[in-house]
Chain A
Amino acid sequence: MSTDLLNTLVTSAIWRAEQLAEHGIDSASLAWAEVSALEEELAKALPASQPEGRIARRGAVRAALKAGDFARAQALAERYLAEKDATRTLRASLRQLLEEDARTLADRFRHAAKAVDDVRGLARWLQEGGAFGLAA
């Protein structure tokens, strides 16, 4: 698929997701997931050294976070951070995206804000091991 087509698709997908989110429609997260998928495709097509490639990478992670799929966002971010040609600014912005998400979570649950750093690790432990971690 050509990058032009992908750009066209991702532009309309972003517009659609923003509209759905603005009107409080539940499927907004699905739309953001679609955006993330398209941005990921773009990122595959474009190297991190190019500005478009960096934008696509940031877009894929941000859309995954907006879709509420933290695991995917984290996986994508880890993958992009590991790329050799990733610039320092890209790496910083990717980390910032994840931190912003954590801050949002901490803002929402401000009494437990201190636990935000640990909570994702615990959640992963629970996801992998089930109740009491017995299935791990």
Chain B
Amino acid sequence: METLAFYSYKGGVGRSLLLANAARFLASLGKGVVALDFDFEAPGLHYKLGHAAHRESRMEGGAVPYLVATAREATSPPSLEEHMIQVPVPPGSGGWLRLMPAGPAPDRAYWVALKQLGEQIHFDDPSGQGLMPLLDLHARIREELKPDYLLIDARTGVTELGGLATTILADTVVCMFVANQESLDGTLMVAEALKASPRLKGQRPIRIVPALTRTTSEPPSEGPFAEGVKRLLELGAGTASRGNKKEPKLFELPHDTVHGASDRIVAGERTASAFSPLYKSYLELFRELVPSSAQRAEEALSRLEVVASIKEEMTGGREQYDFDDVLSPWNASAIDEGVSYEGEGYGQPASRYADLVCRDDAGRPLMVVEYLAGSHKEAVDFWGQRTKVRCLLLLSRNQHGHVEREIYARRPDEHELRPTDRRWDLPLPKEFDLLLDVGDRSIEKMIDALRRGHAEAAAWLVGEWRESVAAVEGFGPKSPPWRPLRARRILDGLAATEDPGLGEQILRRAAPGPWGPWHPRLRYRRKFRDEWGGGDDLDRWMAKDLFAPLFWRLSVEAVVRYSGERHYPGESPCLAGYRLLAHDLMGLRYDPDRTALAEGRAVWAQRSDERQGEDSEDWEPVEWLHRSRRERNEHLRLSDELAPVLVWEELGREARHFRGTLQEAREKIGDKGRKQATSSSGLRRRLRERLDRHQLAAEGLLGQYDTAGRIELYPAVIGAAAELLGVSQRSLKSVAFIYFAVLALAHQARDLDGQPGYGFAPAPLRPPYFRESPVHVSLAQCFAQRLIERLDDPNLMAAFEKLSQHQPEPYRQWEALRKVPLEQLRVYLMRARAAPAAIGLPPLEERDW
């Protein structure tokens, strides 16, 4: 039996807590342990160890009643069992732990017994009558209980009992002190006395282990405190443990506000939440106190450290990527720690220890984390065959001490777990909904998930796209590799989304900044900036190469939704799609925010002059900006109305000499005429006639850019036209949108002089048989074609080409412009923009530019 005494010159150093943890730790190693509370004046070990058992048993025994009884009874000593509590230990450890509390403190009976003890036993009695009961108790514990370890909580300060517990009973004394001179000096004095104290025959010299507790910072390395620590270590070195030739070490037990304050006994626990810096220090100390436990302490420490780190990672303790905000981390309440998992199925009942079990909302286990001590195969077989978990994370340390992870997964219908390529990105809870096999988080599988309506997959895909192109900007050695093909696959997958709602989500996710500091994505940007040395540039790449193509390639309905719905006040849709067209292709500047602000400031300046002396705030320009944004949100609409050309045609049959506006014409034909005109058979017939005359793509049949600066598309007509042309309705709608967007930008965007393109201004009235300028139309179609070519979307290109073929010859001049260099094309555009009116420009053939 090895006797360890825990002593402190001053109180409040966490002595009892350390003893309780040491006791439980040793018991968890399969050792027999007795803990003895000799802090008679302030007993409390039973509060930390076996409090519930002590309370339930209403035990009246303990060290003080035992010694009193021993002093009385001359021949028959009291039973040890009556004075001890059996303390529960971690199941399956094979060890045991018994506590002899000081007594039934704080009951009055205890203090009566303590008074009697003081009267009956005098430890300094030269006959030995006072010392013998103590030595007898020590020997009885050794002989009757045969523990491996006896741990004694020695009283604080300089007392006879404290002195005896440390000098006569103990083999090892842990001297605890805090980082102040008073505590250190007292400890040093006692340690010197311990070294000089007499010992019983056959006893080894006392081993002294100094421990600095409740540390919050490094202890001073110079001055009296450092000198004192050095002396204390010298005393400890002189009594180093057998076979321990290492340099003496000062054990530092950090201040732990969580475990320390709650007096939680964590030793022996295998749960990740037990891990704390204090527990880590405990284990290091135990390793010194009980060298035979070094390996187990090492293992326990290693396991806890790894599992705690994994849990922290899973619950979002680490910095998360953007997509993780949507694929949210595990909720701590969904993770059970230290579960003895009962296997299902036939055969011998079996259970296995799982460090973490992650469950879904219904409590079904989804994923198990096990820190592996044994063979991988055994673990994989058990979790694969005896449970229904879909994912298994095995953790182990390799020969170099590095943590290795292996992730096994399976589909719900599979019977065996398969190794996966995943290593460092742990499956998140939502992934179990998104993916049938969480082991395969490939682009294709995520796109599948997207098709099945999981918008979260879009966020993940956008995150992956960013990582794939981050290297473009040369963000340093830490940047991920450049993977353009992967980025392209992501873009194509996202763009193929049919559902407008999902399309809107994709656009939201793909939209780069600017974001306020509240925006979760800011963290991602910070990561780029801090780790890869970039970030802002990536936003520009994202706007240009991800958002803009998606803007044009996703369904028009998605764009309408994205442009219309606002999630917070002041939110404005990203303009990168228009900017790509205006800046990169047309050589124009499209920045409605800046324009609106400039206009707002100009108006405000004018009004301010008029309202000299009045109180005012500078809100008007901002108001103007908001108005501009409101208007912009309605810039694109899908209209149920009849296309103007159809209105005029319908009316032409009834009122040949009508001279009113388009609105008046629409009212005149009424609902009946509207229904007639838009009935599928009627519409098809009319469109077929136009198709034959090559007039399908003209005269604002599919949509228009109107005088309100708005693009209006007519889905009913587009649908019928797509059917006739044999192209997809969605593509045709997008082509129409692109074409009218070119017209709108040619009109609204500014050139180098800040001027809009008057030549592309829409005609105020759309009279019957209105003819658009072939020059302007051809130029617009040319830019539309160049955008589609850049988007590299075969569906869009097919729709564009089919549509283009069915228009009168003069309007097909864009084909002649295909090989014109972009700069030259921009020159043409500038001229067309400067033209006074859209009608009456010379045809392109005349080359009169």
Contact = CB atoms under 8 A, between A and B. Distances in A.
Interface of A: 68-71, 74, 101, 105, 108-112, 114-127, 130-134
Interface of B: 70, 74-75, 77, 123-133, 135-136, 138-140, 143, 158-160, 162-164, 166-168, 189-190, 193-194, 196-198, 200-201
A132 B125 contact: no
A116 B166 CA distance: 19
A74 B190 contact: no
Given A70-B127, A123-B127, A105 B160 contact: no
Contacts of B129: 68, 70, 105
Contacts of A108: 74-75, 132
Contacts of A122: 128, 131, 168, 198, 200
Contacts of A114: 201
Contact of A118 (B190, B193, B200): B200
A60 to B, nearest CB: 16
| Chain B, interface SS category | helix
B261 to A, nearest CB: 32
Contact of B131 (A68, A71, A119, A134): A119
B132 A116 contact: yes
A78 to B, nearest CB: 13
Given A121-B198, A122-B198, A109 B193 contact: no
Given A119-B135, A127-B124, A127-B126, A132 B158 contact: yes
21 contacts: A70-B125, A70-B128, A71-B127, A105-B128, A108-B75, A109-B133, A110-B136, A112-B135, A114-B201, A115-B132, A116-B128, A116-B132, A122-B168, A122-B198, A123-B126, A123-B127, A123-B131, A126-B124, A127-B124, A132-B193, A133-B167
B194 A132 contact: yes
A123 B133 CA distance: 13
A134 B158 contact: yes
A28 B480 CA distance: 93
B189 A109 contact: no
Contact of B127 (A115, A120, A126, A132): A120
B193 to A, nearest CB: 4
A68 B128 CA distance: 11
Nearest to A74: B126
A121 B131 CA distance: 11
Nearest to A124: B126
Contact of A132 (B75, B140, B197): B197
Contacts of A110: 136
B160 A130 contact: yes
A121 B167 CA distance: 14
B606 to A, nearest CB: 93
B557 to A, nearest CB: 87
Given A118-B200, A133-B197, A123 B124 contact: yes
A72 to B, nearest CB: 9
A120 B126 CA distance: 5
Nearest to A75: B126
Contacts of B167: 132-133
A110 B75 CA distance: 10
Contact of B198 (A70, A125, A131): A125
Contacts of B131: 119, 122-123, 126
A132 to B, nearest CB: 4
A122 to B, nearest CB: 6
B127 A105 contact: yes
B193 A111 contact: no
B160 A126 contact: yes
A15 to B, nearest CB: 23
A115 B125 contact: no
A75 to B, nearest CB: 10
A111 B140 contact: yes
Contacts of A111: 136, 139-140, 143
